[in-house]
């Protein structure tokens, strides 16, 4: 058996032709897929297994109820987190029932597909609540039976009935509507609400009962731990002889499952036992042939006839229905397989470690294979070829002839790939080696080297003869045509063929000879050589005979059949029928179980059996007796759907009921991702291609990616479809519909709001128009009032303007009068000054005249002059004039003289007049004659004034009189 890494479990279920194969080679081991407990939460023991239809499997595990969809394992714990002891996949109620310790309930998918647990035991009365371990759950006629350690709880129409059993219940099963229980006091049946001992089975009272299963011919089979099987026909009981009674007694049977004629027994010490009741063939599965653990706690057949085994640690899947079996598995490996041959009762096996042999037919039956190395054969074996009655081993160290269980070397050739009998010369053969081709000849029963073909030094991994002189050589995927001389000892010409010569590719081209003609297998179908054009051309007959233009790497003629091999499939066609599909069998290779070696070989043993060397050893392929193709129409499924914005959020997950909800997604979360996969009944690998589309658009390009994301989807209804395309051309399709809701402003509530808003708008417009008319009328009144008010304002403004004009005119008149008065006073002062100056001059002249008078009349004249002089002095010093000046000055300068007198009453008349003159901006020279003093006297008065006013040196006397007085 081949032990695969658990992380690649989802690609390991690869079986297209699920029918039983030949009994003659039943000894070869079935492939077993191991699932480590780390995949499902590290729960060790698995107590029960319940497949649901063809896609889902459920397990009662220590950590909870475990679900496997072929890709992902999920654990669902019970409410009390106890070990799950039993599980029932109900196709009637569409539920998954699970029982633990003092608890039981069921799982159903929620709206998004996720399983939700519903506890049923919480509704039990306290008197029957403590069931202990719930080891069995059964249903019949809408009645649910829950089997505990010492009682059975019956559930009907929402009511529970507890039925006590005065014994320890070890197992139970529902057979033909009757509940059988196995106890430490024998087998009992439940009739109504009462247990009755099984009539005629008293002899089993001392046996430990492990299981009760139906018999295909009627009646039941009772399985015991140590004493084998017993058949009960309804009246009597008798041993059911299988030939494995000693095995059961030594290894203790623990569990049982049945399907059709097959009975599977799990043991405590030595793995699985499989009994075919029709033929009484027995097969064993244990650690020697691929089982992960020899302690088997539960077994169950799935819908395809394969076997699940729950172990003490891990879960295994035994591929009973696969046409592929294997010879050995890890860790009991003999190396990578490269070649095989059957001769004289021996099966020879060429591996990378050397040449081995075993007896033929091979018998294993649960034990290690009886394989022995051929002495002195250690090293890489490339091929095993038979020429005449001689079998040759093509080895890295040369070519060896096999005789029984020994070999002997022929010639000193090293690095031999393959050999062929020379056409028309049974006593000669070509040997392809690492650096050319040798010609050997047989004389007196012994083979000898004639020569190495001169001029040809390329490696000859494979070659075929068009004739004895023309060889087509395959070297690293390149095809070369070699023409030899008449004596076959030297090369005459050589030519390589590639794209320029008609091939679709340059490399990976393989040569084969079918019905005497050379053909070439490429990644784009089969080609043939057109000798007239010296070109390659597609061979439509061959392509039609096989699976179209599939990328076959080997073509082999065996009897009247054409066998073609690729990494993904074996195609077997009848050479007499050149019509595609007629008598053609396309058999997919489980790629993840059978990883072929780069040399790709297939070895027919008979018309129905073929050995396929592979990376893990050797597989046996049994050709189906009836042409059959597995229904893969629903093998692909959309596993999850996520909303990816603003963060990943799961909104749908696949479930066992296939329920697909009506998904409505908000517009703000309009980016989604789909995860899709193949179910565990379909095969996986790089050969499976996918296509997807949205809303029946164009299918995408082929891809091997298992996820697809869409972003920024507009609102509307969508249907996502994914399609898997298998190598044989069949397809599988799944789809999921969803809706992107419109944005809030385009949603139904929004449109209702818009409608209400529109009604409000119409009402508002009506109201607005009504208010507008009223407002217009009011506005007209207001405008009229405003107009009157404006007219009043204009009238008042005009009135104010005219009053201002009058005041301005009056002011101007006053200013004019003031100016006139000032001018008049100035003229008066000037005239006064001029008069005083004139009088002073006259006075001066009078003095001159008086001084000039002499004689008698002079006295009178002088007296007259003095009288005149006195009148002049009185005119100069007239107070009346001074008073007039002060009054006129106060009138012009806002009572300046009065304010001056009030603030400075101690001023003399000259000082007061001095202030007035300074106020009038008269200069010192102009003031002196007005005061009838000298300029020096004016300066003296100015000084006295500064002293009396208290002015500092820097203070201006004029500023004081103009601004501060």
Give the Cα separation of 571 and 586 in Å (integer): 4
Q: Is the pLDDT of residue 118 over 70?
A: yes
Q: Is the pLDDT of residue 866 over 80?
A: no
Task: Specify the higher pLDDT residue, 422 or 55.
Answer: 422
At what angle are helices 748-852 and 879-892 packed, to 10 degrees?
170
Give the Cα separation of 98 and 105 in Å (integer): 6
Q: Looking at residue 736, what is its pLDDT? A: 94
Q: Looking at residue 4, what is its pLDDT? A: 37
Q: Which of 76, 87, 73 has the alpha carbon at shortest distance from 35?
A: 73
Q: Which of 138, 136, 168 has the alpha carbon at shortest distance from 150?
A: 168
Task: Specify the higher pLDDT residue, 19 or 565.
Answer: 565
Q: Looking at residue 877, what is its pLDDT? A: 53
Quick one: pLDDT band at residue 53, thresholds 50, 70, 90?
Answer: confident
* Mean pLDDT (whole number) for 957-965: 82
* Mean pLDDT (whole number) for 650-667: 91
* Mean pLDDT (whole number) for 117-126: 90
Q: Looking at residue 631, what is its pLDDT? A: 59
Q: Looking at residue 632, what is its pLDDT? A: 65
* Mean pLDDT (whole number) for 589-609: 83
Strand order in the sheet with 143-147: 136-140, 143-147, 151-156, 159-164
**Phi, psi of 783, rounded to the nearest 5 degrees:** -65, -40
Q: Is the pLDDT of residue 921 over 80?
A: no
Give the Cα separation of 781 and 930 in Å (integer): 75
Span(s) in the chain for CATH 1.10.10:
878-965
* Mean pLDDT (whole number) for 626-652: 80
Q: Is the pLDDT of residue 103 over 80?
A: yes
Strand positions, DSSP E, 575-660: 585-588, 603-604, 609-614, 617-622, 636-643, 649-653
Instruction: Characterize 944-964 residue by residue with b for buried, 16 or more Cβ atoms within 10 angstroms of its Cβ, and e for exposed.
Output: ebbeebeeeeeeebeebbeee
Report pLDDT digits (tens) over 498-519.
Answer: 999 999 998 889 999 999 999 9
Task: Specify the higher pLDDT residue, 776 or 89.
Answer: 89
What CATH number matches the domain at 878-965, 3.20.20, 1.10.10, 3.90.120, 1.10.3470? 1.10.10
Span(s) in the chain for CATH 2.130.10.10:
389-622
Quick one: pLDDT band at residue 135, thresholds 50, 70, 90?
Answer: very high
Quick one: pLDDT band at residue 298, thresholds 50, 70, 90?
Answer: very high
Q: Is the pLDDT of residue 828 over 80?
A: no
Quick one: pLDDT band at residue 819, thresholds 50, 70, 90?
Answer: low
Total residues found in the chain within this entry: 965
Give the Cα separation of 823 and 829 in Å (integer): 10
End-to-end Cα, the chain, rounded Å: 133
Contacts of 406 (CB under 8 A, 6+ apart): 374, 375, 376
Q: Is the pLDDT of residue 548 over 90?
A: no
Q: Is the pLDDT of residue 804 over 90?
A: no
* Mean pLDDT (whole number) for 234-260: 94
* Mean pLDDT (whole number) for 692-709: 92
Of 321-335, 349-363, 579-593, the least confident = 579-593
Q: Looking at residue 9, what is its pLDDT? A: 32
Q: Looking at residue 209, what is its pLDDT? A: 95
Q: Looking at residue 133, what is its pLDDT? A: 94
Give the Cα separation of 791 and 772 in Å (integer): 27
What CATH number matches the domain at 636-742, 1.10.1240.10, 3.40.30.10, 1.10.10.10, 2.60.40.10? 2.60.40.10
Of 212-221, 264-273, 801-810, 818-827, the least confident = 818-827
Give the Cα separation of 120 and 218 in Å (integer): 35
Of 54-63, 482-491, 879-888, the least confident = 879-888
Quick one: pLDDT band at residue 582, thresholds 50, 70, 90?
Answer: low
* Mean pLDDT (whole number) for 117-133: 88
Give the Cα separation of 84 and 89 in Å (integer): 14
Q: Count other Cβ atoms within 10 Å, centred on residue 444.
A: 5
Q: Is the pLDDT of residue 683 over 70?
A: no
What CATH number matches the domain at 389-622, 2.130.10.10, 2.60.120.10, 2.60.40.420, 2.60.120.260? 2.130.10.10
Quick one: pLDDT band at residue 774, thresholds 50, 70, 90?
Answer: confident
Of 24-28, 96-100, 497-501, 959-963, the least confident = 24-28
Quick one: pLDDT band at residue 681, thresholds 50, 70, 90?
Answer: low
% of the chain with per-residue pLDDT over 90: 52
Span(s) in the chain for CATH 2.60.40.10:
636-742
Q: Positive or negative, the Cα torsion across 249, 251, 257, 261?
A: negative
Q: Looking at residue 3, what is its pLDDT? A: 38
């Amino acid at each position: 058996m081949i032990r695969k890494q658990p992380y690649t479990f989802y690609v390991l279920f690869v079986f297209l032709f699920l029918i039983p194969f030949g009994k003659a080679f039943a000894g070869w081991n079935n492939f077993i897929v191991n699932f480590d407990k780390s995949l499902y939460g590290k729960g060790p023991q698995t107590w029960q297994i319940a497949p649901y239809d063809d896609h889902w499997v459920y397990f009662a595990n220590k950590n909870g109820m475990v679900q496997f969809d072929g890709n992902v394992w999920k654990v669902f714990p019970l409410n009390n987190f106890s070990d799950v002891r039993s599980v029932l996949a109900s196709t009637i109620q569409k539920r998954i029932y699970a029982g633990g310790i003092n608890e039981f309930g069921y799982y159903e998918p929620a709206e998004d597909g996720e399983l939700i647990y519903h506890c049923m035991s919480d509704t039990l009365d306290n008197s029957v609540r403590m069931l202990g371990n719930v080891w069995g759950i059964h249903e019949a006629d809408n009645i649910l039976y829950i089997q505990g350690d010492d009682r059975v709880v019956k559930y009907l129409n929402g009511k529970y009935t507890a039925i006590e059993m005065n014994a320890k219940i070890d197992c139970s099963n529902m057979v033909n509507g009757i509940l059988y229980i196995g106890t430490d006091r024998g087998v009992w049946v439940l009739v109504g609400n009462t247990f009755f001992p099984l009539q005629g089975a008293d002899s089993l009272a001392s046996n430990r009962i492990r299981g009760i299963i139906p018999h295909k011919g009627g009646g039941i089979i009772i399985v015991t731990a140590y004493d084998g099987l017993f058949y009960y026909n309804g009246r009597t009981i008798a041993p059911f002889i299988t030939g494995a009674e000693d095995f059961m007694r030594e290894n203790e049977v623990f569990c049982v499952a049945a399907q059709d004629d097959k009975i599977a027994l799990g043991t405590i010490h030595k793995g699985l036992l499989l009994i075919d009741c029709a033929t009484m063939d027995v097969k064993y599965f244990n650690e020697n042939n691929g089982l992960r653990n020899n302690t088997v706690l539960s077994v169950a057949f799935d819908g395809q006839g394969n076997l699940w085994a729950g172990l003490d640690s891990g879960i295994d899947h035994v591929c009973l229905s696969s046409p592929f079996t294997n010879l050995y598995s890890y860790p009991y490996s003999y190396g990578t397989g490269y070649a095989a041959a059957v001769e004289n009762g021996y099966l020879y096996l060429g591996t990378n470690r050397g040449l081995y042999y075993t007896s033929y037919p091979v018998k294993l039956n649960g034990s290690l294979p009886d394989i022995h190395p051929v002495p002195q054969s250690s090293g890489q074996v490339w091929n095993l070829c038979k020429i005449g009655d001689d079998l040759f081993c093509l080895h890295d160290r040369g070519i060896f002839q096999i005789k029984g269980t020994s070999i002997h070397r022929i010639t000193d050739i090293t690095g031999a790939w393959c050999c062929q009998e020379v056409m028309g010369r049974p006593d000669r053969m070509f040997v392809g080696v690492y650096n050319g081709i040798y010609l050997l000849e047989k004389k007196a029963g012994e083979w000898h080297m004639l020569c190495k073909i001169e001029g040809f030094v390329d490696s000859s991994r494979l070659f075929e003869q068009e004739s004895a002189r023309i060889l087509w050589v395959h070297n690293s995927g390149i095809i070369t045509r070699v023409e030899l001389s008449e004596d076959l000892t030297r090369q005459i010409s050589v030519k390589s063929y590639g794209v320029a010569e008609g091939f679709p590719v340059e490399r990976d081209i393989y040569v084969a000879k079918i019905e005497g003609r050379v053909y070439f297998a490429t990644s784009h179908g089969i080609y043939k050589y057109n000798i007239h054009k010296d070109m390659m051309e597609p061979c439509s007959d061959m392509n039609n005979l096989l699976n179209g233009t599939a990328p076959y790497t080997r073509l082999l003629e065996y009897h009247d059949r054409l066998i073609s091999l690729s990494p993904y499939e074996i195609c077997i066609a009848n050479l007499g029928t050149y019509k595609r599909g007629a008598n053609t069998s396309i058999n997919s290779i489980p790629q993840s179980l059978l990883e072929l070696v780069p040399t790709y070989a297939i070895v027919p043993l008979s018309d129905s059996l073929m050995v396929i060397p592979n990376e893990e050893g050797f597989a046996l392929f049994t050709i189906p007796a009836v042409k059959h193709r597995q229904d893969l129409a629903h093998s692909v499924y959309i596993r999850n759907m996520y909303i990816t914005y603003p963060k990943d959020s799961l909104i749908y997950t696949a479930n066992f009921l296939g329920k697909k909800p009506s998904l409505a997604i908000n517009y703000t979360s309009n980016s989604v991702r789909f995860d899709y996969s193949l179910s565990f009944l379909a095969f996986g690998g790089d050969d499976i291609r996918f296509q997807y589309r949205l809303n029946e658009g164009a299918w995408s390009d082929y891809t091997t990616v298992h996820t697809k994301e869409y972003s920024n989807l507009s609102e509307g209804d969508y249907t996502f479809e994914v399609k898997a395309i298998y190598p044989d051309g069949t397809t599988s399709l799944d789809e999921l519909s969803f809706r992107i809701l419109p944005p809030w402003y385009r949603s139904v509530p929004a449109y209702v709001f818009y409608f209400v808003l529109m009604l409000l708008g119409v009402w508002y417009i009506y109201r607005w128009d009504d208010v507008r008319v009223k407002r217009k009328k009011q506005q007209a009144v207001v405008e009229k009032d405003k107009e009157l008010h404006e007219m009043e304002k204009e009238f008042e403004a005009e009135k104010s303007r005219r009053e201002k004009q009058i005041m301005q005119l009056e002011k101007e008149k006053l200013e004019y009068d003031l100016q006139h008065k000032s001018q008049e006073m100035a003229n008066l002062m000037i005239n006064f000054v001029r008069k005083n100056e004139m009088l002073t001059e006259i006075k001066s002249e009078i003095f001159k005249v008086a001084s000039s008078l002499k004689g008698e009349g002079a006295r009178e004249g002088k007296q007259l002059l003095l009288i005149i002089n006195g009148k002049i002095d009185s005119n100069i010093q007239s107070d009346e004039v001074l008073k007039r000046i002060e009054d006129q000055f106060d009138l012009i300068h806002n009572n300046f003289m009065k304010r001056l007198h009030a603030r400075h009453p101690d001023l003399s008349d000259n000082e007061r007049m001095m202030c007035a003159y300074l106020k009038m901006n008269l200069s010192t020279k102009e003031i002196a004659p007005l005061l009838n003093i000298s300029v020096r006297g004016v300066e003296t008065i100015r000084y006295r004034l500064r002293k009396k006013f208290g002015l500092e040196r820097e203070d201006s006397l004029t500023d004081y009189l103009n601004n501060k007085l």
